[in-house]
C-alpha cells in the first residue's frame, strides 16, 4: 500500500512535536527559560474570558477545552504569549517554545485545540456565550504558526535541512 504524501504543515507539526518532546530545542542557545525581564508588560487584554465553569464539557470529540484555554490564559498572565511581529527574535523563540511545551505537557495530543471540528456543541452549552470553536481555532493558529516559525528558524540555523 502506497502512503499519501503529507503536507508541509503536517511535516512541520510532526517534526516540531518530535523535537519538542525530545527536548532538542532546550539545548539550543535560543531556547532559554523565560525570565521576568523578557516578559511583555501586559497581555491580559489577550486573555480568553473563561471562568472555568465546566458547562462546555465534555466535548464529544475529546477536546480538553478548559485545559487548552487555561494554558493559553496562563501564557497571557505570565506575559509569555509569543507576539508574531517579533518573529525571528530570541524572545519569540523562547516564548513560543514555552507555550508549545506547556500545551504538550498539560494537554494530551488528541485533546489539543487543533483537533476541534467546530461542531458548536460546546458553544451552545457555554453560559457566557463564548465562541469556543473560534477560540480553539485561535489557539491552534497561534501554536501552528509558532511551530512553523521555530522549524524555519532551525532550518536557517543549519540544524535541519529540508
Contact 110, 145 (CB under 8 A): no
pLDDT score recorded for residue 131? 93
* pLDDT score of 41: 46
**Cα(87)–Cα(32) distance, integer angstroms:** 16
Residue-range domain boundaries for the chain: 11-156
pLDDT digits (tens, 9 = 90+) for 62-119: 999 999 999 999 988 888 888 777 777 788 888 888 899 999 999 999 999 999 999 9
Q: Rounded to the nearest 5°, which phi and psi values hold at 74?
A: -65, -40
Range among 10-19, 46-55, 130-139 rated most confident: 130-139
Q: Taking residues 153-160, what's their average pLDDT?
A: 73
Question: pLDDT digits over 113-144, tens only?
Answer: 999 999 999 999 888 899 999 999 999 999 99
27: confidence class by pLDDT, cuts 50, 70, 90: very low
- Residues found in the chain: 162
123, containing H or E segment: helix 121-125
pLDDT at 8: 67
Amino acid at each position: 500500500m502506497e502512503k499519501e504524501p503529507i503536507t508541509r504543515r503536517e511535516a512541520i507539526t510532526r517534526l516540531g512535536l518530535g523535537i519538542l518532546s525530545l527536548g532538542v530545542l532546550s539545548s539550543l542557545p535560543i531556547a532559554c527559560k523565560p525570565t521576568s525581564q523578557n516578559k511583555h508588560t501586559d497581555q491580559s487584554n489577550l486573555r480568553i474570558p473563561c471562568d472555568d465553569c465546566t458547562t462546555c464539557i465534555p466535548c464529544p470529540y475529546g477536546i480538553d477545552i478548559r485545559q487548552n484555554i487555561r494554558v493559553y490564559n496562563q501564557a497571557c498572565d505570565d506575559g509569555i504569549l509569543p507576539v508574531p511581529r517579533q518573529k525571528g527574535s530570541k524572545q519569540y523563540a523562547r516564548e513560543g517554545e514555552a507555550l508549545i511545551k506547556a500545551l504538550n505537557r498539560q494537554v494530551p495530543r488528541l485533546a489539543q485545540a487543533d483537533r476541534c471540528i467546530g461542531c458548536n456543541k460546546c458553544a451552545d452549552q457555554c453560559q457566557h456565550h463564548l465562541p469556543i470553536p473560534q477560540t480553539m481555532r485561535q489557539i491552534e493558529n497561534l501554536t501552528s504558526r509558532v511551530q512553523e516559525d521555530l522549524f524555519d528558524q532551525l532550518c536557517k540555523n543549519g540544524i535541519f535541512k529540508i
